[in-house]
Amino acid sequence: MRTIIRNQHIRAILLQITIILILVLVIFFAAYYQPGKSCTIFTAIQSDIVLFGNSEDQHNPDPVIGFRPPSSEGYGSVMFGTTGPDGQYNFEGGMNDQGLAWDMNSTPKAKLDPDPNPGKPECYEDNFLYRITKEAATVEQAIRIVKSCHFGEALPGQYHIADANGDAVVISGGPDGKVAFTRIDPGEGYLLSTNFNLAQPEKGPVDFRWETATEQLDALESGAALTPEYAMALMESVQLNTVTTYTLYQNVLDLTENKIYLSYMSQYDEIAEIDMEEEFKKGQRVVEMRELFSEETAAAGDAAHQRFAFRFTAAKVGVITLALLLIIGMLFLIIRRVKKRVRTAADG
């Protein structure tokens, strides 16, 4: 009988220690957690109008825009991104002067089979997105560049690419372990992507944004006019302000006119309009997005993001504090059990 009781006591202590270790992992995860990037991206066509929209939903507070005039190295381009903690620019979307645009959705990694042509360069080492921006004027040319390299063991997201002719594709990992190319259906007039793999649609949608954007894009077939204003209103309807994610900027790119419409930090009373050709005249440079807006809009946007950052930090602190309190409570119970066991053994 004593052996049974002792074994039960040991199992109870081991269970409590296991719970403590799990809570330690929770603290580690909460302390170093950085929210993933979300993003809603669409290509829409109506008559001779081709618009490309992106909503950049993430955490970094310093969005930037880079201008690279055309040169012997390739097409001119405008790039959108953020400044990382190391001071490096991370460009995550762009458009060149031929009307080709691209951006990325964050999705779960899709495993890929080994490429049958091992001699091809690795796509990321080959900087395939910059190659596309500099060298591709059409989606077909962009696809050829992608097929000339390999992504290794997995695709960590999906890439939405469109051109001024109204062609568009989303590149992701297919269910067969191969790179999938989901093309726009000309009959629908748009291609939409959010945070689930379009080549594996059974895994999505993940939230309201897919249905909201689909409803507004479907309205284009019912008489709604496709304009930059309509597209930006669509972007506003899918902006995020949650505990872990915030919409840093949204852009609508007119692929036939080489014009850009940009919002800053979920502020929609002022939309910056950018003419690529005019910006190229100023030379190659990278500027903070807030510089493209009035002081009032920039200040309001920065303040809104600071409130989001405070909520996010408070949530992390709350999770860590709760986990620490639970650990302290579990340790207290373990110590009490051990002391009681020692007293019982002494009395016996």
Q: 256: domain CATH number?
A: 3.60.60.10
pTM of the model: 0.84
Residue that is last in its domain, among 269, 293, 317: 293
Cα–Cα dist 72/198, whole Å: 36
Q: What is the pLDDT of residue 326?
A: 74
Task: Give every residue of the chain whose pLDDT is below 70, as ranges.
Answer: 1-38, 338, 340-348
The residues near 70 (Cβ < 8 Å, ≥ 6 apart) are: 76, 97, 280
Instruction: Say if residue 18 is in the same domain as residue 45.
Output: no
pLDDT recorded at residue 30: 42
Looking at the structure, do residues 199 and 336 belong to the same domain, yes or no?
no
Please indicate, yes or no, whether residues 200 and 288 belong to a single structural domain of this protein.
yes
| Total domains, the chain | 2
Residues 274 and 150 in one domain: yes
* Residue 321 shares a structural domain with residue 282: no
Whether residue 28 is found in the same domain as residue 45: no
| DSSP code, position 241 | B
Domain presence at residue 124: yes
Q: Are 260 and 253 in contact (CB under 8 A)?
A: yes
Residues 252 and 343 in one domain: no
In a domain, 229, yes or no: yes
Give the Cα separation of 183 and 166 in Å (integer): 11
DSSP H helical ranges for 51-100: none
Q: Are residues 228 and 283 in the same domain?
A: yes
Choose among 207, 186, 171: nearest CA to 55: 207
By DSSP bridging, strand 267-275 and strand 77-83 are unpaired
pLDDT of the residue at 19: 63
Measured distance CA(53)–CA(223) in Å, rounded: 20
Query: pLDDT at position 253, please?
Result: 98
d(CA 289, CA 202): 37
Say if 303 falls within a structural domain.
Answer: no
* CB-CB contact of 54 with 41 (8 Å): yes
167: exposed, middle or buried (Cβ count in 10 Å: 0-12, 13-18, 19+):
buried
Same domain, 286 and 320: no
Do 168 and 220 reside in the same domain of the chain?
A: yes
Q: What is the pLDDT of residue 85?
A: 82
Residue pair 285/67 in contact (Cβ under 8 Å)? The answer is yes
User: Quick check: is 63 in a domain?
Assistant: yes
Q: Same domain for 17 and 56?
A: no
> Do 89 and 236 fall into the same domain?
yes
Look at residues 60, 180, 39, 47 and name the one whose alpha carbon lies nearest to residue 105: 39
pLDDT of residue 327: 75
What range defines the domain where residue 192 resides? 40-293
